[in-house]
Amino acid sequence: MTDTEVGLASSGAEPGGARRVRVLSYNVRSLRDDRAAVARVIRACAPDVVCVQESPRYWKTEKAAAWLAHKTGMVILAGGGRVAAGPLLLGNLRVDVLELRDALLPKTRGLHARGFASALLRIGGSRPFSVTSCHLSLEPAERLRQFDLLRGQLRPGEPGVIAGDFNEGPDGPGWRSLAAELTDAHAKAPWGGTYTSVPEEPYQRIDGVFATPDVEVLGCGVPYPLPGVAEADLRAATDHLPVLAALRIPAP
């Protein structure tokens, strides 16, 4: 997929030390559907970092994460194990991990264990920035508490990105509270498609990318309908559509 085809900034260094970074958020539904299509979608989006949700966590978790990394030409950065409880961070070979920040969240009896896959990263000579992949609860009260815990993944004065399946749209209380402090990337610089559910009924935007105010959003949205991402693959891969964001990380 070329830059002209996607209409979204490529990754790379800029004069002065700022860095363009592409972050993809994708719920892969435990790779239960067409996992080869999942890998093709990720490769076509040419991301620097992938925030995966619902990485397999109950059966051969490490093998499944390694398979996905291999098939997408990436490496595992964080998550994928018992602590993160589903979320996973993948990155290309230019990404350096400076600090792991995976977190297992307090669990409500009878509900799934959930966590964050999180790390402090650097690409080339960029300023260090944090990335957190999350998959929040279906239960409203627990989900609202998890929105609050997301803020703890960010450090004062540090650029940061939070991406994932929030199981809540922009009208929800947790989404609104997070958007009051961070930049909702698609709302700031809409690009591509908006709705992230497959099939599209009901139309939902429950997957998203948020960034700290010092991270400039160049564009964000679902990479379809655009050349390079086949509609058949998007529908076969999982029940969510991916969200791709181009961001400018500030200079060191």
Residue 157: which CATH number?
A: 3.60.10.10
* Cα–Cα distance, 161 to 176 (Å, whole number): 16
* Cα–Cα distance, 238 to 188 (Å, whole number): 27
4 part of a folded domain: no
Nearest to 35, CA basis, from 173, 190, 236: 236
13 part of a folded domain: no
196 part of a folded domain: yes
Which DSSP helix (H) or strand (E) runs through 22?
strand 19-27
Local confidence pLDDT in tens for the 252 residues of the chain: 344 344 688 999 998 889 999 999 999 998 999 999 999 999 999 999 999 999 986 556 788 899 999 999 999 999 977 777 889 999 999 999 999 999 999 988 888 889 999 999 999 889 999 999 999 999 999 999 999 999 999 999 999 999 999 999 999 999 999 999 999 999 999 999 999 988 777 789 999 999 999 999 999 999 986 677 888 999 999 999 999 999 999 999
7 part of a folded domain: no
Question: Is residue 105 within 8 Å of 83, Cβ to Cβ?
Answer: no
Domain region containing 209: 20-249
| Exposed/middle/buried for residue 102 (C-beta within 10 Å: 0-12, 13-18, 19+) | buried
Sequence-ordered list of residues with C-beta below 8 angstroms from that of 91, at least 6 positions apart, any chain: 48, 49, 50, 74, 75, 77, 97, 121
178 part of a folded domain: yes
Q: What share of the chain is helix, strand, coil (3-state, %, to 5)?
A: 25, 30, 45
11 part of a folded domain: no
- Report the pLDDT value the prediction gives residue 4, as an integer from 0 to 100: 35
Nearest to 117, CA basis, from 128, 108, 104: 104
Nearest to 140, CA basis, from 93, 172, 114, 180: 172
6 part of a folded domain: no
Question: Is residue 152 within 8 Å of 180, Cβ to Cβ?
Answer: no
- Report the pLDDT value the prediction gives residue 7, as an integer from 0 to 100: 65
> What predicted TM-score, i.e. pTM, was given to this entire model?
0.94
1 part of a folded domain: no
Q: Report the number of distinct structural domains present in the chain.
A: 1
